[in-house]
Amino acid sequence: MDSLKKGLEFYKDIKTLYDEGKNIKEIYQKLTSVSVQSKKDLIENFLMNKIDYKDHVKIRGSLLDYGHLYKPESYINSIEKNDIDSSEERSPEGAKLVLSMSWKPFQLPVSRIPSVQAEDEILSLAFLYPLEFENFIYEGIDAFVGGPLSEPTFTIPKSAKPIPVLMRQEDVAKYKFKRIELTARVVPLPSQLVTRLTDNPFSFIQFSEAINPINEKMPSLSLKANTNKSQIKVLKKEEPITQCNASIFMETHLEGRDGDISKELIRRIPQISSKALTGRQDSYSLTKEDNIDSKSKQIFQLHSNSGLTIIGKHPNVLGFYFEENIVNLQEPYTHFIKEFNSFTENIYDIAPDLTMHIDFMHDYQLKNYFNTPLLNSESCNYIKDERLVDTMHWLRE
């Protein structure tokens, strides 16, 4: 009995030490970190010299590893609605075109960025959105009248403009889609990431408040969550994100077996793509960008009853677009992989002289699930634009 009593007392002593240790750590964190209410508060404190690089801050928000990091070559700001009439005959594959006069905004694609080498470890780039963040689906503004189809017609809301956060890969996996309180160090972003987050209209709009290379005082502002003082707490009173709809996008191009593509094959791409998706050669709709009667501006669209839209842009670019809840993406993306690989195989059967190559995908880690080579084409060797070449090397890593 005495030994049991002593054991219980020892347990209480250990528990007291543990609890006191936790309290000491929390007090230390409070004394050595600055609490900020929002990204705006963080930036204002930084500009007023109340916070500087290397300081630690405590801030609340919604953690995700998705952002608007890429503008597709085949981007147009509006697409036809895929309203399926069940009375119409369908192909054996169940896919068909719906010619419709109703349109909806083409939502800005989201994607992940590859992990980066920082000092002596590999870090992932995540994004701390405001607590009120909900999803990446926005209302288009004048999306269907005036202005080039290639230009975005969106105002990205404040709730979708995050703070970049460098984190351990395991922390991103553990805390993404959760509302958290983050204690992290204020740091400038590595220059290669600054380029990634400002080199197209979508990412420039989304990250302009946190990244401004011409601002000498604050060229970029991010949080580094891998220091000894870093801390991540799940906010128990805040619900995690369970529904986050977004545009998932993959972009490819077609070329000939020898790397070149004939004018005849280019002319047939809409018909070939239509048959590969729907089993019919005429299941596509045609439009002209900017209402200019020029083949260089020619765009066609295809739809399947699974919600997939294919956008073709002259001469040989094909974009694959669908909207889905990215919190539970496994099942719909598995279906997309199957549909995409089937489309690829059909292309090869219909036109053996054509090959298809992936130029962009929302998550490069998934490249091995596709039958089509990733950025592995002869024409890529002739690209001279330094940003495109750099991006290709980055995605191949």
Residue 240 lies inside a defined structural domain of this protein: no
Choose the final residue of a domain: 165, 199, 234: 234
- How do 56-64 and 33-35 pair as beta strands? parallel
Both 122 and 217 in one domain: the answer is yes
Residue 225 lies inside a defined structural domain of this protein: yes
Both 269 and 176 in one domain: the answer is no
Both 174 and 186 in one domain: the answer is yes
Residue 84 lies inside a defined structural domain of this protein: no
- Alpha carbon distance 318, 253 (integer Å): 6
Three-class secondary structure of residue 129 per DSSP: strand
Per-residue pLDDT of the chain (397 residues; tens, 9 = 90+): 555 555 545 455 555 555 555 455 445 445 578 999 999 999 999 999 999 999 999 999 999 999 999 888 888 888 877 654 433 443 444 443 334 457 788 888 999 987 766 667 788 999 999 999 999 998 876 544 445 677 767 788 999 999 999 999 999 999 999 999 999 999 998 888 888 888 888 898 899 999 988 888 899 999 999 999 999 999 999 999 999 999 999 999 999 877 788 889 999 999 999 999 999 888 888 875 544 444 456 789 999 888 899 999 989 999 999 999 999 999 999 999 999 999 999 999 999 999 999 998 898 888 788 877 654 444 445 454 555 555 555 544 4
Both 55 and 201 in one domain: the answer is yes
Residue owning tokens 């007291």? 16
Residue 391 lies inside a defined structural domain of this protein: yes
Residue 86 lies inside a defined structural domain of this protein: no
Residue 81 lies inside a defined structural domain of this protein: no
Say whether the peptide bond before residue 315 is cis (omega within 30 degrees of 0): yes
Tokens found for residue 74? 């085949």
Where does residue 123 rank: exposed (0-12), middle (13-18), buried (19+ CB within 10 A)? buried
Choose the final residue of a domain: 234, 266, 286: 234
Tokens found for residue 211? 């990244």
Both 186 and 51 in one domain: the answer is yes
- Alpha carbon distance 284, 208 (integer Å): 38
Both 66 and 200 in one domain: the answer is yes
Both 9 and 140 in one domain: the answer is no
- Alpha carbon distance 228, 59 (integer Å): 17
Q: Are 374 and 396 a contacting pair, CB within 8 Å?
A: yes
Q: How many domains does the chain have?
A: 3
Both 46 and 134 in one domain: the answer is yes
- Alpha carbon distance 59, 128 (integer Å): 9
Q: Are 264 and 279 a contacting pair, CB within 8 Å?
A: no
pTM attached to this predicted model:
0.80
- Alpha carbon distance 5, 135 (integer Å): 55
Three-class secondary structure of residue 267 per DSSP: helix
Question: How many Å separate Cα 248 from the centre of its chain?
Answer: 7
CB neighbour list of residue 244: distance below 8 Å, 6 or more residues apart: 64, 134, 135, 136, 177, 325, 326, 327
Both 194 and 63 in one domain: the answer is yes
- Alpha carbon distance 368, 351 (integer Å): 24
E strands in the chain:
33-35, 56-64, 78-80, 103-105, 116-118, 121-129, 163-168, 179-187, 222-224, 231-234, 245-256, 285-288, 298-303, 309-313, 317-325, 354-361
Both 251 and 380 in one domain: the answer is yes
Both 122 and 140 in one domain: the answer is yes
Residue 89 lies inside a defined structural domain of this protein: no
The residue segments making up the domain with residue 152 are 36-71+111-234
DSSP at 332: H
Both 41 and 31 in one domain: the answer is no
